[in-house]
Each structure stands twice: as C-alpha cells, then as structure tokens.
Amino acid sequence: GAGVSQSPRYKVAKRGQDVALRCDPISGHVSLFWYQQALGQGPEFLTYFQNEAQLDKSGLPSDRFFAERPEGSVSTLKIQRTQQEDSAVYLCASSGSGEQLHFGNGTRLTVT
Amino acid sequence: QKEVEQDPGPLSVPEGAIVSLNCTYSNSAFQYFMWYRQYSRKGPELLMYTYSSGNKEDGRFTAQVDKSSKYISLFIRDSQPSDSATYLCAMSANEGKLIFGQGTELSVKP
C-alpha cells in the first residue's frame, strides 16, 4: 500500500508484560515519528528518527520505552513492563524531505 | 499550562453552517501551523498548512494565523455531515516535531 502501515491494530497486554509495536513508513521517507494519543487528547511527541539515527527522544515518558529503526525503514516501539497509564493509541508518521507528515492509523494499546 | 490550547468541544452545528475552530499558543518560536482532521479510529490527516502569519484558503476551508496574538483559526464554510470529526491544530518551530492541541470534536447534523 501507499500509506504508513502499523501493526498490530489492537493490542491487549497484562500489566507487566512487554509489547512491541511496528511501523512501516512510506517507502523512501527519511523522517519517522512516534506519537502517543491518550483518549480525548491530541497526539504527544515521543521520538524522531532521520534514517536510522534517533535524533530526538525527549518525549519518551520513561526508560521503559525504547524505539529503534536499525535499517532506516521499519521502526519498532517497545514498551517494557507495561503499566495501565501506557494505555493509549500509538501513532507513527513519516515524511520525505520537506514534505508534510503522513500518519498511520495507530496501534491501540490496552493494559489490563 | 500547555504550549497549545484548544477547546475540546464538543461542537454541534446544523448542515450548511459556518464553523470556526481556534487555538492559542505560547511559544513564539512556532512558525509552521497546521490543521489536521481525525476520524474515529483513524490517524490524523493534514487539512491545511500555513507558514508564518496570514490566510490560506482551500475550497470550503480557510486557515488564519495571527502570530502577534498567538492565535490560529480554521473556518469551514457550508459544513457537511461528512465534516464530522475531531479537528486538531498543530504547530512547529521547524519542519519536524509537531505540538498538537487537544482537538475539537465537531458534529454536523443533517
């Protein structure tokens, strides 16, 4: 497909479990962003990659959150020892040089 | 206080009405201003993009930016039921990390 693809669409995890969320950006897009969107709120920035380099991770809420993009394409957001407050929609977005962000439809994470 | 403030609504209008949505912000470094539309269980999609101050029109949509007042607006003319969605303002100091408002939920009734 031509858009940003995220998987899984829905994830239920028991508190304390580790989860991994995947993002397939639009082919050739250099920049990749992760955002967290709580219910009824706007997306909040988590981290930013340019190719494989993680240039900004200032939005990651704790050291339980880790993101990688080892080959400059697919990215994975990992959350260790999930907590209830981690329940949210996790959005991935990508952009080409000088272009606007294209968002995926997100992964809805529910921690029980 | 958040960097970007947006009234969450909900806002309900009859079909054909003019809708006015707005955001205020505190960071004078913001130069890029955007409006996104988000349907339920979907990702945000870009509606309007403005650099610095001024107006921009695209069909039924008009975006206005007043940097002196740190205030941005989106106007929707002849609103349609298909416009029912959450509207998010977003802004950035560079063409990268975006700061979003809370989003305004709009419902256009037939």
Residue range B41-61, pLDDT digits in tens: 999 999 999 988 889 999 999
Beta-strand relationship, B32-38 and B85-92: antiparallel
Phi, psi of A30 (to 5 degrees): -80, -40
CA gap B23, B7 in Å, rounded: 7
- Nearest residue to A96 (alpha-carbon basis) of A33, A1, A26, A6: A26
| pLDDT at position A52 | 96
CA gap A56, A46 in Å, rounded: 8
Disruptive mutation site among B32, B41, B92 for chain A (greatest number of A CBs within 10 Å): B41
Q: Answer for the pair B38, B45: CB distance below 8 angstroms, yes or no.
A: yes
CA gap B36, B38 in Å, rounded: 7
Residue range A33-61, pLDDT digits in tens: 999 999 999 999 999 999 999 999 999 99
Q: In A, residues 19-48, which contact B (CB 8 Å cutoff)?
A: 31, 33, 35, 40-45, 48
Measured between beta carbons, which residues in chain A are less than 8 angstroms from residue B96? 31, 48, 56
CB contact under 8 A, A45 and B99: yes
Mean local confidence (pLDDT), A56-68? 96
Facing residue for A101 by CB, picked from B8, B98, B99: B98
Peptide bond into B14 cis (omega under 30): no
